[in-house]
Amino acid sequence: MLIGLTASLCMLSRYSLIGWIPAFIFYLLLDKKKKSSILFIITGIISFFIIFILPFGWHAFTQLLKLPGSYIEFAKKVWNDSPEIFWLSLGLAKFFGPGKTALLHTTLIALTFIVPLLFVACCLYQRKKNKLSNIPLATLKLSLVIFYNFIDVPYLYLFYTSSFVSLMTVAFLIQEDQVSYT
């Protein structure tokens, strides 16, 4: 339930989890955790409805859905007005250049959904042979790396999210190891 609530909250601030959510549901279903997947989906939908739809209405939701369509034009404006954002920041947008923002956006959407799903499938297949753990967390990190590296306008502050997830993961895993040795 907490993961569903957190995913819902994150979707309100950024689209970066948009590729991880279907991959996580896919993981739960393939890992025979049907009850967990249903709980995740229901919690996410209810949270989204209570936190977003009820206070702001349906019009705000439709505006939110239309927002990604304006990213291509916005990226073109930024290329024109401030190209240093692309050249001095992280991400792969600089390699696409100002004339290929639509291709970059299409690549972003395709890879954001396809790679995490393939990663989960490969991990679950490999788990039969090798002991793999933390597949959802690894998928989250992979999803964030792909999303932010192919983002249309790579403002530097956007890359903090992926780094923050890495730092939290490392801190958690170090703490877990220390507890098991004590």
CA distance 39 to 132: 24
Question: By the 8 A CB rule, do 78 and 153 touch?
Answer: yes
Tokens of 27: 């993981």
Nearest partner of 151 among 87, 77, 94, judged by Cα: 94
C-alpha to C-alpha distance for 137 and 141, rounded to whole angstroms: 6
User: Measuring CA to CA, which residue among 15, 33, 11, 13 is closest to residue 24?
Assistant: 33
pLDDT at 98: 93
Alpha-carbon gap, residue 147 to 159, rounded angstroms: 10
Residue 70 pLDDT > 80: yes
The tokens describing 182, both together, are: 């004590």
Residue with tokens 């024109």: 80
CA distance 130 to 153: 39
pLDDT tens by residue, 143-175: 999 999 999 999 988 888 888 888 888 888 787
pLDDT at 13: 64
pTM equals 0.83
> What is the 8-class DSSP label of residue 90?
S
**Mean pLDDT, rounded, of the chain:** 86
Residue type, 84: E
- Domain extents in the chain: 2-181
